[in-house]
Amino acid sequence: MATHIESKEVLKMRLWRASLAILLIMILASAAATAGSSTPLAIVDGDTISSADLEQEIAIMKKMKDFEGEVVLPSAEDALHRLIQNRLIIQEGYRLGFDRKFTVANQVRETVRLKLVAALLDSIAATVPTSTPDLMSERRKAVDLYIDGLINHYHVEVDSTLLASLEYGSDDPQVKKRLRESEEVLAVLPSGSLSIRSLSMVIRFTEFHGLTGKPDADESRDRIFKEWLVEGLLSYEAKLHKLEQAPHIRRMARNLEENRVSEETLKSLLKFDFNPGEEEIEGFYRENLSAVTPSPRVKMQSVLLTNQKAAETFRGRLQVGAKLAWLKKVTKEVADGPPPFPADWFSPEKLGLRPEEVFVGSVPEPYEVPGNAWAVAIVDEIEQPVPLPLAECRGTMIQLMRQKATHDLMRENFRKLEEAADVLILPGAEELVEELLRGSQTTE
């Protein structure tokens, strides 16, 4: 009996310490949320656009740079205009009720729930001092002990016999029907009962191809059930401690909701019938021949030199009008052997030539080639490219037509939204935007 009382006291102490840690995490998060400053830039129909919105937009553009290569930051005027348009799209989405759409509300709710569970686990792990040997292992133990404590505290009992009877690997229609429809209870949490039917739904979401026919179906069933049970307990506990009221969680939820509302609004605004006729396609093709005209190829005269200094001198003389054939004869540093460039046509991009550098007489910078030699070349001839026939680029033309129609429709939508909105750009806003854009470039 003494041991039982002692274990209950230990359990109470462990849960009390955990609650204290959670409270501390919330206080620190709240302080961090209020520590940063944000300056208003504009007011759009009562909503304030701030420097924090701009910083978020800059972060997105930097992410795009990571995936798409160089992304040029807009001017201050364009950046501010983009922020205003973003807010107008969000406002239109709320007006249309997209925040109440199930796919939007459910995603926000689930994302916040998972974030709260993660925050709760982080707070428990943080109760282990960083100076503790084998820190990660000890933190995992602390989390496991906390979960065990919750199971005991809420007297959660699993019907292991019922769970073991669930044959998710079976393809028997009657077995599947039971798994799909049965309301038999596997366990009761403080938030409600965990039924067979609900477990089956979780498994369908977790295992994309299901467990039918899989040799490890029973092990997967038990693992998914345990994770589901633990997540349910932690979600309840996070709600009990009102973690969702933490400023950073509320801000995250609001940002996520606005992003999803914006996506739904754009999908709604960009719905249109697109079925161009043959005459339209042919007319668009004639107006956009440059889009299907390949870059001009070039022929080069070239020579190898034995060192960089001689190559740079050779290039300088070519640039002032000397002929390559004559220079080749009078330059002792010319290396023996065939020229480095073939006599055939080839793409100027292979030399790193920009379009404005593709002209007869253009001399690229010398570059080193294997064998410690340096190549110097001059553009000798430029091919006059021919546009692709419409029959060969019809798909590309239709895609470009759709892109233009989408762009024109979006521009018209923005015109209407801006015309109906009350927009006030605050004094000094553009200057502050310019300063923040410059600062973002210097920190890269």
Q: Compute the average pLDDT of residues 367-382.
A: 87
Contacts of 288 (CB under 8 A, 6+ apart): 397, 400
Contacts of 98 (CB under 8 A, 6+ apart): 104, 260, 261, 264, 265, 268
Q: Compute the average pLDDT of residues 393-408.
A: 95
User: Predicted confidence band at 18 (pLDDT cuts at 50, 70, 90)?
Assistant: low
Distances (CA, A) of 281 to 276, 286, 415: 7, 9, 27
Reported pTM:
0.71
Contact 47, 87 (CB under 8 A): yes
Q: Which of 15-19, 209-213, 241-245, 407-411 has the highest mean pLDDT?
A: 407-411
**At 223, which amino acid appears?**
R
Structure token pair of residue 324: 């390559």
CA gap 144, 233 in Å, rounded: 13
Contacts of 378 (CB under 8 A, 6+ apart): 300, 301, 302, 318, 324, 361, 362, 363
Q: Give the residue carrying structure tokens 């026939």.
A: 389
Structure token pair of residue 81: 């205009």
pLDDT 10s digits, 271-330:
999 999 999 999 999 999 989 988 888 888 889 999 999 999 999 999 998 999 899 888
Contact 189, 236 (CB under 8 A): yes
Structure token pair of residue 442: 């210097």
Q: Give the residue carrying structure tokens 């995992």.
A: 140
Contacts of 332 (CB under 8 A, 6+ apart): none
Give which of 21, 3, 24, 7 is closest to 149, Cα–Cα: 7
Per-residue pLDDT at 427:
94
**At 377, which amino acid appears?**
A
In this prediction, what percent of the chain has a pLDDT beyond 90?
A: 57
CA atoms within a 13 Å half-sphere pointing along the CA-CB vector of 426: 15
Distances (CA, A) of 228 to 44, 82, 178, 203, 234: 43, 42, 20, 10, 10
Contact 326, 356 (CB under 8 A): no
Contacts of 429 (CB under 8 A, 6+ apart): 40, 41, 42, 80
On average, the pLDDT of the chain sits at: 86
pLDDT 10s digits, 29-67:
444 444 446 899 999 999 999 998 998 888 877 776 655
Contact 368, 405 (CB under 8 A): no
Per-residue pLDDT at 71:
62
Q: Compute the average pLDDT of residues 216-224.
A: 94
HEC assignment per residue over the chain: CHHHHHHHHHHHHHHHHHHHHHHHHHHHHHHHHHHCCCCEEEEECCEEEEHHHHHHHHHHHHHHHHHHCCCCCCCHHHHHHHHHHHHHHHHHHHHCCHHHCHHHHHHHHHHHHHHHHHHHHHHHHCCCCCCCCCHHHHHHHHHHHHHHHHHHHCCCCCCHHHHHCCCCCCCCHHHHHHHHHCCCEEEEECCEEEEHHHHHHHHHHHCCCCCCCCCCHHHHHHHHHHHHHHHHHHHHHHHHCCHHHCHHHHHHHHHHHHHHHHHHHHHHHCCCCCCCCHHHHHHHHHHCHHHHCCCCCEEEEEEEECCHHHHHHHHHHHHCCCCHHHHHHHCCCECCCCCCCCCCCECHHHHCCCHHHCCCCCCCCCEEECCCEEEEEEEEEECCCCCCCHHHHHHHHHHHHHHHHHHHHHHHHHHHHHHHCCEEECCCHHHHHHHHHHHHHHCC
User: Predicted confidence band at 193 (pLDDT cuts at 50, 70, 90)?
Assistant: very high
CA gap 307, 304 in Å, rounded: 9
Structure token pair of residue 93: 């989405």
